[in-house]
Amino acid sequence: MTTHDVTLPSYLEQTPDVRARFRSISERPVVLRVNNLGKTFDSVKGAVQALKQVSFEVHRREFVSIIGPSGCGKSTLIRILAGLEELSAGEILLDDREVNGPGPERGMVFQGYTLFPWLTVLKNVMFGLEVSATSNGITGNTKEQEARDWIKMVGLTDFADSYPHELSGGMKQRVAIARALANRPRILLMDEPFGALDAQTRAKMQSYLLQIWKNVDVTIIFITHDLDEAIYLSDRIVVLKANPGEIQEIIEVPVEHPRSPEQFLSQEFLATKKRLEELIHPPREAEEMLPIIRMTQIGDDVY
């Protein structure tokens, strides 16, 4: 561990500003309520409990990240929220109404690239507006104008008529975000959306996302396995543990808003990161040695 324990405050300590912010968030209406959610998969090796007794709420315009070790059920959870997977127990309420199956009020950005390759960027962003039943009254022109506005928001005006294969990975994910937001979803679900991007592009995308979130009335649930990313972006972080996937802790991030990359070295940031590391990599497990046999020639010792 690189941080010096002595100098760090507790991650639970909040400045008055931060505390006031959390109080105001908690006073906002609850957009998403997850109650005792459970999920079992029937696999060849018998039933696998992927999620157990998961409960949390998300308030309007809140940014909540979900982190946890690989295989703890993060993707399963967000897919259930999106309606792409059925739940085995519990309930999900969006604006106090039970959700059932996928719908345009829950937008999703996937880790892989899921733009429709046969549509231009503009048509991709218009897709939701054209298919959803609620927007039948809107004329084609307004739809196009709206789509162009979203494309402008993610900074891709010049690429409106390009096809997905002409875009870089980061640009594709920006289009995917615009496409999901164009539907005006109540909640935006993101499953490791920047996971496939290189570090630099990723940092850029994070600041894009913060800007978008600031300007758009949307609530975000964001999955990542990158601790820095989770802290940098979120109001709160839901930490899951594996086998079965259960909530370990829900952390209120004590880092002040507005966020900027300089805060990566602030006391609160490091304190939160330390706590997350404790939760996700318990010290005992970290020391476990792999059963690796020696596979090098004698005489070329480098260590």
Which listed option, Mg ion, other proteins, ligand ATP, none, makes contact with residue 125 (CB within 5 to 8 Å by class)? Answer: none
Residue 92 — φ and ψ, nearest 5°? -125, 125
Q: Judged by CB under 5 A, does residue 75 bind Mg ion?
A: yes
Least distance in Å: CB of 169 to ligand ATP? 18
> In this structure, are residues 211 and 63 in contact, taking their beta carbons and an 8 Å threshold?
no
Least distance in Å: CB of 101 to Mg ion? 21
Q: What's the CA gap between 22 and 16, in Å, rounded? A: 10
Task: Kindly state the tokens that stand for 44.
Answer: 């060849």
Least distance in Å: CB of 116 to other proteins? 6
Least distance in Å: CB of 242 to Mg ion? 12
H or E segment and range at residue 40: strand 30-43
C-alpha distances (whole Å) from 38 to each of 48, 49, 86, 148 are: 11, 8, 10, 40
The correct pick among 183, 219, 224, 272 for binding other proteins (CB under 8 A) is: 183
Nearer to other proteins, 54 or 180 (CB): 180
Q: Judged by CB under 6 A, does residue 70 bind ligand ATP?
A: yes
Stretch that binds other proteins, among 40-48, 68-76, 136-144, 173-181 (CB under 8 A): 173-181
The correct pick among 71, 117, 140, 155 for binding ligand ATP (CB under 6 A) is: 71
Stretch that binds other proteins, among 33-41, 42-50, 82-90, 215-223 (CB under 8 A): 82-90
Grouping H, G, I as helix, E, B as strand and the rest as coil, residue 200 is: helix
DSSP symbols for 212-275: HHHHS--EEEEE-S-HHHHHHH-SEEEEEETTTBEEEEEEEP-PPSSP-GGGGGSHHHHHHHHH
The correct pick among 108, 121, 218, 247 for binding other proteins (CB under 8 A) is: 108
Nearer to other proteins, 134 or 260 (CB): 134
Least distance in Å: CB of 232 to other proteins? 25
Nearer to Mg ion, 65 or 75 (CB): 75
Q: What's the CA gap between 22 and 255, in Å, rounded? A: 11
> In this structure, are residues 219 and 61 in contact, taking their beta carbons and an 8 Å threshold?
yes
Nearer to ligand ATP, 191 or 235 (CB): 191
Q: What's the CA gap between 39 and 13, in Å, rounded? A: 35
Stretch that binds ligand ATP, among 3-11, 69-77, 182-190, 204-212 (CB under 6 A): 69-77
> In this structure, are residues 160 and 78 in contact, taking their beta carbons and an 8 Å threshold?
no
- Using CB under 6 A, list all residues that contact ligand ATP: 41, 43, 48, 50, 68, 70-76, 225
